[in-house]
Amino acid sequence: MTLEEFRIDLLETVRARAESNQDFNRAGFVDEVGDRLSDAEEFADFEPCRFEGTSGKKKLKIDGYAFDEADNSLALLVADFSNDDFVPSFNTSDTVKAFGMLRAFVEEALQGKLTDGSIEESHPAHGLASDLMAWHPKITKYRFYLASDGILKTKAKDWPEENISGTPTELHIWDIVRFHTAHLSATGRDELIVDFAEFGGNGLPCLAAASSDGDYQAYLCMIPGLTLAGIYDRYGSRLLEGNVRSFLSTKGKVNAKIQLTIKNQPEMFFAFNNGIAATAEDIVMEQTALGMRIVSATNLQIVNGGQTTASLAMAGRGTSGKKDGADLSQVMVQMKLSVLPPDKAGELIPEIARYANSQNKVSDADFFANHPYHIRLEEFSRRIFATPAGGAQHGTHWFYERARGQYANEQTKLTPAQKRQFELQNPKSQLLTKTDIAKLENTWRGMPNKVSMGAQKNFMLFADLIAKCWNEDEKQFNEDYFRNLAALAILFRRTELLVKQQAWYQGGYRANIVTYSLAKLHDMIAEQALGKQMDLRGIWDKQSVSNAVVDQIAMIAKRVFEMLTDPERPKDNVTEWAKMQACWDQIKSSKIALSSAMLTSLQDLRTVSNAAKIAKEVQKTDNGIATQIAVISIPGSQWGKLRVWANEQKLLTPIQSDLLQLASKIPVKMPTEKQCAQIWQIHEKLVEEGYVKQA
């Protein structure tokens, strides 16, 4: 995809997003680049916060922010959106002006000038200004971002570091060229090159450990504690693989035992600590008199040892954060470095992270992208058609994007005519992502406060929950389940539009209002309509929400807004208040009656229960067929080799050995459905034990 094609596609996405949200194109651009910078792992959980105004003679402007709990940095975004069909350009003076307005917002907030009544208390900017004063002592770094649909005339994409009230401040420029480059990269991230020599010494001493036909090289390295802490101080959580980053954000950055070792026995750190595991897409090496050294690494990511890294950086900073902390000069850390080609990195890094963390508290749920749950939803989304809606003459899919970029990737090799057909059948307005599903599920399960914590934290919780439910009974995740998810998406998106249209809506906290309103609706039905539930199948069949439901949600949403923005709320920032269990408890206990029209629209639970039983039986049959196909598709000779290997390893019982012998006779003799299920279980177990398919 050329730069011009990419920009046209971005503008179309922005305009469609703005239209579906009944918002301005600029707001659609801010939401879109916020998502893209989150995908590129520049942001943790992005919060739109659109404000433009003055304070004295200073012009202030901000479009959003993201506080990263993994490294206590705060990213702040200002957008420059032209919406022109031709590609505009901007220069150094434009950039200085934009960053100046963003800096002015932060400085005025820190001085208390934005919380003195100059900004309406219900506006998100007031809440952010309040939080900036509270957060400032613990913020390690401000990261300013300018996002534009134009081209920067100068080559520098990151500018020299500045300082705000004693806190380092980075300046990052993301123009359309940089967004395009990230889009084309295999991992979707901006290139990060770590030059180890910049942090002292002349590279990292290493030993080659393994290689695999050019696809994989492994090295054992020694990295000084000062170097590792310095790298983390500079690059922050961008160094951390996504799941490790999420784990640190939720489980805590600093390990007390690591801190004690650094303080009391730094020379023993190498002996007491397990070290870190990392990946890179490329390295530069030099031969010295003392052996091989790694000079630099491209797209370095830590996949295990996030706490070790963060603890070293924290100890080095000290309590004041001004580098008055522990002496790290005697600390040495072992590092296992895996070098992967860019085209394999996106696939292999999560797997390496999973195995590297198999002995600690990072659960399988954290590495959830390849879980069978996602694979099944993806398969449903490609074959289940929704009823034609809005006068259309054809059915459509609710396209589930299990991996980032699937929707775009599936169109790359299509002709223009095929692409138009694909978009008709898979409209972008019906795209579902993993974080969308997590938001829908946790809202309907009565956890709007968790949803309000942000996409990544909410997804972590959701992944853990679904993994447990899958283990208990995977048949519940059937075609009806997928249709209900799509119905919830329709309900959710209709509520987003509804809130936007209300006279009381002032332009902030819509995400919080929506999740709380729908969670409250679900709770009201459970409390006031025993034996009934929302008719999600009806929403799916019509691909729309009835007037009775819309009117009920409008009533709930108004009350939710009033409670979220209540002047007597215990937390100034509404966004932070919405994350608290106390907020949900308060809204949950508020008295709102279901209308008679709403009660009439509900579905009898017995009908739903019978349909669920049938759906489970259908899924059971589908599972059996899929397993038979999987077993029969493997040649008998391969089953024979598997049996020989397993017997040599003494991993089979006599019955299991007989079953594999039967499989080795495929296609002359075919196992039954029950035998196929047993054979496949044996196959999965032996693969886990280390069996590799033989030629």
pLDDT tens digit sequence for 91-141: 999 999 999 999 999 999 999 999 988 888 888 999 899 999 999 999 999
Query: Is pLDDT at 495 greater than 80 in this prediction?
Result: yes
| The pLDDT of residue 190 | 75
Query: Is pLDDT at 270 greater than 60 in this prediction?
Result: yes
Query: Is pLDDT at 519 greater than 70 in this prediction?
Result: yes
Looking at per-residue pLDDT, the higher value among 647 and 326 belongs to 647
Query: Is pLDDT at 444 greater than 90 in this prediction?
Result: yes
Query: Is pLDDT at 345 greater than 80 in this prediction?
Result: no
SS3 (DSSP) at 566? coil
Looking at per-residue pLDDT, the higher value among 523 and 273 belongs to 523
pLDDT band at 591 (very low <50, low <70, confident <90, very high): very high
| The pLDDT of residue 2 | 87
User: Is residue 29 within 8 Å of residue 79, measured between CB atoms?
Assistant: yes
pLDDT band at 297 (very low <50, low <70, confident <90, very high): very high
Nearest CA among 147, 164, 158 for reference residue 65: 147
Nearest CA among 148, 158, 174 for reference residue 83: 148
Query: Is pLDDT at 158 greater than 80 in this prediction?
Result: no
Distance CA 461, CA 159 (A): 37
pLDDT band at 485 (very low <50, low <70, confident <90, very high): very high
Give the H/E segment covering residue 542.
helix 536-542
Instruction: Work out the mean pLDDT of the chain and round it to a whole number.
Output: 86
Q: What is the mean pLDDT of residues 425-435?
A: 90
pLDDT-wise least confident of 239-253, 313-327, 408-422, 535-549: 239-253
Q: Find which of 311-320, 369-378, 558-567, 647-656 is predicted with most confidence, using mean pLDDT.
A: 558-567
Query: ∠50-137-78 over CA atoms, to 5°?
Result: 20
Distance CA 438, CA 89 (A): 39
Q: What is the mean pLDDT of residues 542-569?
A: 94
Distance CA 340, CA 189 (A): 15
| The pLDDT of residue 590 | 95
Query: Is pLDDT at 283 greater than 80 in this prediction?
Result: yes
| The pLDDT of residue 314 | 81
- Give the residues across from 322 on adjacent strands: none
SS3 (DSSP) at 451? helix
pTM of the model: 0.72
CA 258 to chain centroid, in Å, comes to: 29
Distance CA 618, CA 153 (A): 59
| The pLDDT of residue 608 | 65
Nearest CA among 496, 385, 419 for reference residue 27: 496
**Left, alpha or beta for 112 (phi > 0: left; psi -120 to 50: alpha)?**
left
Q: What distance separates the 2 farthest-apart alpha carbons in the chain?
A: 87
Distance CA 284, CA 509 (A): 47
Span 52-71, pLDDT tens digits: 999 888 999 999 999 988 78
pLDDT band at 362 (very low <50, low <70, confident <90, very high): very low
Span 594-639, pLDDT tens digits: 999 999 999 887 776 666 666 666 666 666 777 788 788 888 888 9
Q: What is the mean pLDDT of residues 276-305?
A: 88
- Give the residues across from 325 on adjacent strands: none
Distance CA 39, CA 456 (A): 11
| The pLDDT of residue 484 | 93
SS3 (DSSP) at 573? coil
| The pLDDT of residue 152 | 92
Query: ∠374-375-378 over CA atoms, to 5°?
Result: 85
| The pLDDT of residue 340 | 85
User: Is residue 220 within 8 Å of residue 329, measured between CB atoms?
Assistant: no
| The pLDDT of residue 154 | 79
Distance CA 638, CA 576 (A): 57
Q: What is the mean pLDDT of residues 133-160?
A: 87
Q: What is the mean pLDDT of residues 153-182?
A: 86
User: Is residue 432 within 8 Å of residue 485, measured between CB atoms?
Assistant: yes
205 preceded by cis ω (within 30°)?
A: no
Query: Is pLDDT at 366 greater than 50 in this prediction?
Result: no
Kindly list the distances between the CA atom of residue 78 and the CA atoms of 24, 81, 575, in Å, as whole numbers in the listed order. 16, 10, 19
For tokens 């520098």, the residue is 156
Span 646-658, pLDDT tens digits: 998 888 898 999 9
Q: How far apart are the first and last CA of the chain?
A: 38
Query: Is pLDDT at 320 greater than 50 in this prediction?
Result: no
User: Is residue 284 within 8 Å of residue 194, measured between CB atoms?
Assistant: no
Span 454-470, pLDDT tens digits: 888 898 889 888 888 98
pLDDT band at 344 (very low <50, low <70, confident <90, very high): confident
What Rg value do the Cα atoms of the chain yield, rounded? 27
| The pLDDT of residue 693 | 66
Percent of the chain with pLDDT over 90: 41
Token pair of 322, please?
């001004």
User: Exposed, middle or buried, 622 (CB in 10 Å: 0-12/13-18/19+)?
Assistant: middle
